[in-house]
Amino acid sequence: MGIKIVPRHGKNFKDRAYLPAIFGGLKVTFKHFFTNLKDTSNIKTLQYPEEQPKDITPRYRGVHRLTKREDESVRCVACFMCATACPAECIFIEAIEREDGVDEKMPKRFDIDLLECVFCGGCVEACPCDAIRMDTGIFTFVKSKREDFVITKEQLLANEPMKEEK
């Protein structure tokens, strides 16, 4: 039938007792335990969330922000390209006419549901005027209610770009 029978290993008493393997594993565990006990500087574990990582790369896709023009007004022209490109359909835009003549439209409402977002960066790629970015470095957001995970235009405009570590 073409079936190959693979012989089962561990037929002798030493293998079947599992004790040498168990002690071998424990030896490695205790070796690391006592080494780290003597010198904690080499421990790679971070005491998260009290301790936050400091080596987030600038390419990291964190919570979004809406960028502003030189006059501090919203750069977004409410073209819906980001919402159209979004695979999670979690961007909700309501457009209004722009009164200041800078452009035709602007968003009256611009919400992103972070619980639906998959942080793919598609919205950033799709935006024709660099109005949305994901460079805030915010990767942790804890809320107690579902609706608090929907970030509004005001919150998006208030988000700042991540500061680089010196």
Contacting positions for ligand SF4 (CB under 6 A): 76-82, 85-88, 90-91, 93, 112, 117-123, 126-127, 129, 131-132
* Residue 131 to residue 76: CA distance in whole angstroms: 5
Residue 94, φ and ψ in degrees, nearest 5: -120, 120
Cβ 164 to ligand SF4, closest distance in Å? 22
Cβ 141 to ligand SF4, closest distance in Å? 13
Cβ 147 to ligand SF4, closest distance in Å? 17
Report strand pairing: 150-151 vs 105-113: antiparallel
Which residue, 36 or 85, has its beta carbon nearer to ligand SF4? 85
Residue 26, φ and ψ in degrees, nearest 5: -65, -35
Which residue, 36 or 83, has its beta carbon nearer to ligand SF4? 83
Which residue, 32 or 69, has its beta carbon nearer to ligand SF4? 69
Distances (CA, A) of 163 to 6, 151, 166: 58, 21, 9
The DSSP symbol for 51 reads S
Cβ 136 to ligand SF4, closest distance in Å? 12
Which residue, 77 or 162, has its beta carbon nearer to ligand SF4? 77
Residue 7, φ and ψ in degrees, nearest 5: -65, 140
